[in-house]
Chains A and B, each alone.
Chain A
Amino acid sequence: MKWEIRKGLKYTKTHEWADFADDLVTVGITDYAQDMLKDVVYVELPEVGREARVGESLVVLESVKAVSDLYAPVDGAVSAVNEALLDQPELLNEDPYGTWVVKIKVKAGGAAPDLLEEGDYAALVKEEADQ
């Protein structure tokens, strides 16, 4: 496959990756997502502290001719945002797995996240790409 899918991460159906460490989850967009979006020119980040539920739009990513959202993979509160993206949105294209977008502190007792393992995500990407 043309797109990298990194081991050890969880994935969403909306093409975010999520890296869990205790109750903190680091979120970014996948290689496939950045390739679909093309050159990212602007990232609208949320305020630290903002609470979100699973599936809620947290970040807006803009390319020249498209807009897409990054959705919260879990219920929780934003604990950090990657401010480097304000000046260098291209990092998302250059190194999607090395570039995190937000960190979320998972809310205890929140809704169960619907996350995919690497293999299932690869199947999803293949299916979408074939359409």
Chain B
Amino acid sequence: MSKEQALLFELGAPGRRGYSLPQLDLPEKPVDELLPEEMQRKTGLDLPEVSEGELVRHYTALSTRNHGVDSGFYPLGSCTMKYNPKINEETARLPGFAFLHPCQPVESVQGALELLHRAELYLNEVTGMERTTFQPAAGAHGELTGMMLIRAYHRSRNDERKIVLAPDSSHGTNPASAAMTGYEIKEIPSDKRGLVDLGALRETLNEDVAALMLTNPNTLGLFEEDILEIAAAVHDVGGLLYYDGANLNAIMGHARPGDMGFDVVHLNLHKTFSTPHGGGGPGSGPVGVKEHLAPFLPLPLVERGEKGFYWKDDLPLSIGRVQGFYGNFGVVVKAYTYLVMMGAAGLRRAAADAVLNANYLAQRLKKSYALPYDRLCKHEFVISARKQKKKGVSAADIAKALLDYGFHPPTVYFPLIVEEALMVEPTETESKETLDRFAGALEEIARLAEEEPERVTAAPHTTPVGRLDEVGAARNPRVCFEGDE
């Protein structure tokens, strides 16, 4: 049985240290002279006191209690957990990028501005958009920015609109982002195909609708094939079309949101463009727009002038800033590295392989699990554990059982319209052997669910900790270590 890993606060000893600083090389003044006594800290500063070696061992131990893409298969639907190329880490750490201050004179950061400029051009080409800002720090932040742009656009035309539409299969960030910009959200039902119900959409549309937020392929992994009709219907009432780019990996190089009629898109560089998820971030959520929305983009934009690149910040209609500086530049460096290495054909191939892997797995798994929407999928698909549920085995149980096979489970219980949902996104960077082993594991779990369900519901058995008490954690929240009681 594995042991608990001590907290940093339980390690070390008073007086131990993990750093060295140079001697102060100038005449030292009494602190009281620089910082009046009443402004000085009275509370103790109870930080860990450990040597550098202890610190490294602690985090090395923690790292062994964690699963990343480098540890094994990570088919977490909607998150595009593809392999993170190592060169990206190296380029982002070049001192000429990592050690730049955002307020340096432009003549000292021409390389960085050039990179942003090129990255923008390439992404404009991939999405079919006119301009792209890198300021949003993640996808959700891009959605918020996009909604701000949409609001500013309508307002500039003296056209106050109150409603934003999103399908019932939409990601939680969509309604949350629309709400943060003061919009009322209306859900559009999905039809039997798992696609936007065009009739219901038409019935809901009116001149109060500011925008429709759409993920395409949608969160079931299905391409919204009526997209041109949808776009026309939304535009007919003066609404705009927002593209949640979380699933762009399925279609890059094959189709572009700009050509489908979308007015605003966000991308998740940490999904489609191979930058690591970092244990939850940092990501990057660039937002691309068509020409009619460009005047509202956040400040500043990179422009190319006669004397080189510069920041343009005289945009009178701009929504302002959404992040302190220019977004997660370090992440953009990684995505740019990926873009220049993949090229057009590489991106297209990657999307095709992602789709191939997903369809291959879906067709195999539908023999042991329900596949509610059995049609050509794109980069991901959703199976349901409803058959297994009858034996008392839930999607969560299946997820936990997969842990014992060394796999990260799929996304569970999303999208909300599929009961006992397991959403599988293999990505293009996985080999056929991995897919086969994963399918084998899921098939075995399905068999166990049939024959010995209690073995599935008791999983996992081989992880550093067993199932954790989430109810207890929420009833009695302990979010900060207070010492032993």
Contact = CB atoms under 8 A, between A and B. Distances in A.
Q: Helix, strand, loop or mixed for chain A's interface?
A: loop
Contacts of B474: 41-42, 62, 64
A39 interface: yes
B413 interface: yes
B413 A42 contact: no
B413 A41 contact: no
A65 B475 contact: no
Interface residues of B, number: 5
B130 to A, nearest CB: 40
The residue among A39, A41, A65, A90 with the most chain B CB atoms within 10 A of its own CB is A41
Contacts of B482: none
A89 interface: yes
Interface residues of A, number: 9
Contact of B470 (A42, A62, A64, A90): A64
Nearest to B475: A41
A72 to B, nearest CB: 22
Contacts of B103: none
Interface in A58-101: 62-65, 89-90
A64 B474 CA distance: 7
Contacts of B413: 65
Interface in A20-52: 39, 41-42
A62 B473 CA distance: 13
Contacts, number: 14
A62 B471 CA distance: 11
Contacts of B470: 64
A62 B475 CA distance: 10
A41 B475 CA distance: 5
A90 B471 CA distance: 10
Interface in B133-150: none
A40 to B, nearest CB: 9
B418 to A, nearest CB: 14
A128 to B, nearest CB: 14
A64 B475 CA distance: 9
A64 B476 CA distance: 12
Contacts of A89: 475
Interface in B431-485: 470-471, 474-475
Contacts of A64: 470-471, 474
Contacts of A65: 413
Contacts of A63: 471
B139 to A, nearest CB: 22
Contacts of B471: 39, 41, 63-64
A71 to B, nearest CB: 20
A41 B474 CA distance: 6
B471 to A, nearest CB: 4
A41 to B, nearest CB: 4
Nearest to A90: B475
Nearest to A39: B471
Nearest to A64: B470
A89 B474 CA distance: 11
Contacts of A41: 471, 474-475
Contacts of A42: 474-475
A42 B474 CA distance: 8
Nearest to B471: A39
A43 to B, nearest CB: 11
B203 to A, nearest CB: 24
Contacts of B475: 41-42, 89-90
Interface string B398-427: 000000000000000100000000000000
A64 B413 CA distance: 13
Interface string A87-128: 001100000000000000000000000000000000000000
A64 B472 CA distance: 9
A12 to B, nearest CB: 23
Interface of B: 413, 470-471, 474-475
6 contacts: A39-B471, A41-B475, A42-B475, A64-B470, A65-B413, A90-B475
Interface of A: 39, 41-42, 62-65, 89-90
CB-based closest 10 A-B pairs: A41-B474, A39-B471, A64-B470, A41-B475, A64-B474, A64-B471, A41-B471, A89-B475, A42-B474, A90-B475
Given A41-B471, A42-B474, 10 more contacts: A39-B471, A41-B475, A42-B475, A62-B474, A64-B470, A64-B471, A64-B474, A65-B413, A89-B475, A90-B475
